[in-house]
Chain A
Amino acid sequence: MPGQKLARISAGQFATMITAGYLGLGIFYFPREAVSAAGRGGLYAFWLDGVIAFVLMRLIFQMNRVVPHETFSGFASDLLSKPVGYLLGLYTILYHLALAVSATVLFSMVLGNIFLPSTPIWAIDGALTVTAMSIAWGGVAGLARTLQASYIPLLLLTVLSIILAAVSIRHPILLVPSGDIRIAAILHGAYRQFLIFIGFELSVTLYPFVRDGDQKKAERYSYYGLLGIMVALTMQYEVIMGVFGPYMTSQLRWPLASTYRIISISGFYISKLGTLLIVLWTIVVAAFVSVRLWCLAHDLSVFLEAFVPIRYNLGIILMGAAAILGTFLFPNAKVADIWNETWLIPFGIGYLVGIPLIVLTVASIRKKKTLHLQTLTEDGKEL
């Protein structure tokens, strides 16, 4: 474990992992949830989500700064007492795992529905999870490099494709933000669409792995990442609305996939470029799951440290197996959708709001203990 912790990531890699961490889950639904609740006001619901994500990111980063060289699972027991620490450690593990399962289920349904109708869903789930495990196998630095090499070019290609899809816009009037502002509907839409941002909780585990002195920069880059995603998804929202309109958008199973599938470039060597892009999005979902599996391996080893020490790679195997088993609970995407809305979103928002507030409050009360934790080295020795 100490060997693993010494592998550090740069500020840019941290921001990439955080960004990859929250896109994988809601991307294929986007913007259906916001539009079906708020109609053309769905854009306001999405922007509201962006503001909430920004505020919660600030809050989490503030919490990370309490003990900057230790993960939340690592310092929770010392700062908040052992029972509370174990409880919150378990909460963190379940949250990471639920997100990994949910992302795998949703993506395998998209692939199964569109491309591989004869392939059993469990095979797609298994292949995706094993790929994610193999990416996570090399540790956080290797994982970060793999993500940077594949994920950033893919995002650029996605933005280019959005521009290509823009030629299919039939109703430019829909590009103008709506004057129909219904607060309750927008709040409802923002709640349902928050699924897209729910995954940045992994910063509580990744933060201490940022190179010394780069933490501030890493935070700043993460905000830039959020801004970039807001701009890209706003463009995507506009294109989807301009092409399909609000009624059709709320009826599409996978609006993003549907938008890419109408891109057809005659004469280009791959005429169905959008279809190719959906397959490439496997990288994003595999990244989402692999980052989570790595965090799970870390949190599990910290959680079990007092009972039985386990290696990271064993943790990845155990958590990967748990994720595959978890996918069996969902017979179809609709069940996953209901489950996400009923449990995962409130569970996630509760975590993102509740954990920083508890830690910051206790840290302000137990100043001496906090100072003591801050002066410990990574090996647990006092400076």
Chain B
Amino acid sequence: MIKGLIRKLAALFMLLLLSVTLSGCWDDMPLDTRTLVLAMGFYPAKKPGQITVDFSFPTPTGLTSSNGAGSGGGGGKGPSFDTLSGTGYTLAQAFSAAQAKTNRDLYLGHTILLVFSTHLKAHQFNLLMNALDRIGTLDKTPFVAAVSAPFSKVVGVKMTQEEFPALYFEELFTCALCTQFSLGVRLWDASNRLATPGVDLVLPEITPGAKGKGPEVDHIALYRGYHYVATLGHSETTAYSMAAGKSRKSSLYFPHHWHAEFNAVSNNMHLHVDPKGSTVDVTVSLHFTETLESLDTDTESAHQLAVLSRVSSAAIGRRILTFLEKTQKDDSDVLGVGRQLSWIDPTAFRKYRPWHRVYPHVHFIVKTAVKINKMGDLK
């Protein structure tokens, strides 16, 4: 009988012990005591060497109103999101400084957007990326973007389409058919490019829109390692998206050839790398599909299609070659020519170290093939 009692007590003890230890109660925190950070911005601080980190998060009003009127919070007053900032020499210091300004736990597990100022020094960018890689609660899936404007003008802006700006950008970057180019870069993808020799980082840049309009994403920022190099305009961004095989809904216009207009220009890319002595021959093969939108002759002939295919192919080829030559001047290997070489011929790649001295002398050949969907085609 005593034996049975001891057994029951032991089982009860085990049950209590497991229920306490297995629940992870040390980390348990009610949701209403947490601030769910949706976006973070990283900027150089006024004091040299320091960084300022902005945390954008929904306010209780914003959270209840985003749940719909039925939740009872639809009529709440006040802004739907807010921003906190912290400054320090490291991300941890900046985080602590921001945390000191709120009575809620700044929680990073729901972060969906990270923006990096183009004014950050390379070592600061490096420090931040390393720190972000090591935060366990932060998933590796947030989108990453570059900004040159203040956080309040690009992410801390009230949007007309979404309650929270971070959600707007997340949906923009995940929707392949909503944009002209697939520019979304996730944190793990950015870390991957920074860790891999022979390829450089390209980030979409968020720029403030015209007065009364929301921010825009039609520029890209080029990096060489952790160094910010340049921001490219709309036209070069289109060229990049085509060179990288990421064009989705670009358009083309040929005023000297029957005012032909193409839309839905999409493509894929194949990179062929061939080491030749002291340099490397790179063939960028691009296969385009584009839809003929309008023509001043109203209907197209076989001859017109042949001419337009040739003209379009040549124009795109020239445009992309010019873009690639620009990246060579900036010494930013955006297509990952060196990376491709390291995969197909690691021995040859080792001979070309450091790659950044070789890349400006790489010989590019751009081959384009265009398939035109005719105006009458049903898709």
A interface list, Cβ under 8 A from B: 39-40, 112-120, 123, 126-127, 130-131, 134, 170-171, 173-174, 180, 244-245, 247-248, 251, 258, 261-262, 264, 266, 272, 275
Contacts of A262 in B (CB 8 A): 140-141, 186, 188
Given known contacts A40-B343, A180-B347, A272 and B192 CB-to-CB distance under 8 angstroms? no
Contact A275 B139 (CB under 8 A): yes
Contacts of A264 in B (CB 8 A): 139, 141
A251 CA to B129 CA, complexed, in Å: 13
Contact A130 B186 (CB under 8 A): no
Contact B192 A245 (CB under 8 A): yes
Q: Least Cβ distance of A162 to chain B in Å?
A: 17
Q: Least Cβ distance of B258 to chain A in Å?
A: 39
Given known contacts A113-B136, A116-B26, A123-B21, A248 and B195 CB-to-CB distance under 8 angstroms? yes
Contact A261 B139 (CB under 8 A): yes
Contact B339 A117 (CB under 8 A): no
The answer to whether the Cβ of B191 comes within 8 Å of any Cβ in the partner chain is yes
Q: Which residue of B lies closest to A127 (CB)?
A: B21
Cβ contacts B181-202/A at 8 Å (1 or 0 each): 0000010110110011100000
Q: Which residue of A lies closest to B186 (CB)?
A: A262
Q: Which residue of B lies closest to A41 (CB)?
A: B346
Provide 5 A-B residue pairs closer than 8 Å at the C-beta atoms, listed in order of the A residue.
A114-B137, A131-B18, A173-B340, A248-B195, A261-B140
Contacts of B196 in A (CB 8 A): 245, 247-248
Contact A258 B188 (CB under 8 A): yes
Most A C-beta atoms less than 10 A away, residue of B136, B139, B197: B136
A171 CA to B192 CA, complexed, in Å: 12
Contact A123 B197 (CB under 8 A): no
A130 CA to B140 CA, complexed, in Å: 32
Interface set, chain B 185-221, CB cutoff 8 A to A: 186, 188-189, 191-192, 195-197
A61 CA to B192 CA, complexed, in Å: 44
Q: Which residue of A lies closest to B194 (CB)?
A: A248
Contact A126 B136 (CB under 8 A): no
Q: Which residue of B lies closest to A313 (CB)?
A: B10
Contacts of B14 in A (CB 8 A): 130, 134
Partner of B192, one of A114, A117, A244, A261: A244
Contacts of A134 in B (CB 8 A): 14, 18
Q: Which residue of A lies closest to B197 (CB)?
A: A247
Contacts of A118 in B (CB 8 A): 26-27
Cβ contacts B1-43/A at 8 Å (1 or 0 each): 0000000000000100110011010110000000000000000
Q: Least Cβ distance of A324 to chain B in Å?
A: 11
Q: Least Cβ distance of B284 to chain A in Å?
A: 15
Partner of B191, one of A40, A126, A180, A248: A248
Q: Least Cβ distance of A159 to chain B in Å?
A: 22
A338 CA to B197 CA, complexed, in Å: 27
Interface set, chain B 87-122, CB cutoff 8 A to A: none
Interface set, chain B 315-357, CB cutoff 8 A to A: 339-340, 343-344, 346-347
A126 CA to B137 CA, complexed, in Å: 22
A82 CA to B27 CA, complexed, in Å: 51
Partner of A119, one of B26, B186, B347: B26
8 further contact pairs, Cβ within 8 A, besides A117-B136, A261-B141, A264-B139: A115-B136, A119-B26, A131-B18, A170-B189, A248-B192, A262-B188, A266-B174, A272-B139
Enumerate the 6 nearest inter-chain pairs by beta-carbon distance, A residue then B residue, closest first: A127-B21, A119-B26, A114-B136, A247-B196, A248-B192, A113-B136
Cβ contacts B291-318/A at 8 Å (1 or 0 each): 0000000000000000000000000000
A258 CA to B138 CA, complexed, in Å: 12
A272 CA to B21 CA, complexed, in Å: 24
Contacts of B188 in A (CB 8 A): 244, 258, 262
Interface set, chain B 136-164, CB cutoff 8 A to A: 136-137, 139-141
A114 CA to B134 CA, complexed, in Å: 9
Q: Least Cβ distance of A333 to chain B in Å?
A: 12
Given known contacts A131-B18, A173-B343, A258 and B140 CB-to-CB distance under 8 angstroms? yes
Contact B343 A174 (CB under 8 A): yes
Most A C-beta atoms less than 10 A away, residue of B21, B27, B139: B21
A258 CA to B191 CA, complexed, in Å: 12
Q: Least Cβ distance of B360 to chain A in Å?
A: 22
Partner of B22, one of A117, A131, A251: A131
A251 CA to B136 CA, complexed, in Å: 16
Contacts of A251 in B (CB 8 A): 195
Contacts of B197 in A (CB 8 A): 247
Given known contacts A245-B196, A247-B195, A115 and B141 CB-to-CB distance under 8 angstroms? no
Contacts of B140 in A (CB 8 A): 258, 261-262
Q: Which residue of B lies closest to A251 (CB)?
A: B195
Most A C-beta atoms less than 10 A away, residue of B17, B22, B344: B22
Q: Which residue of A lies closest to B343 (CB)?
A: A173
Q: Which residue of B lies closest to A174 (CB)?
A: B343
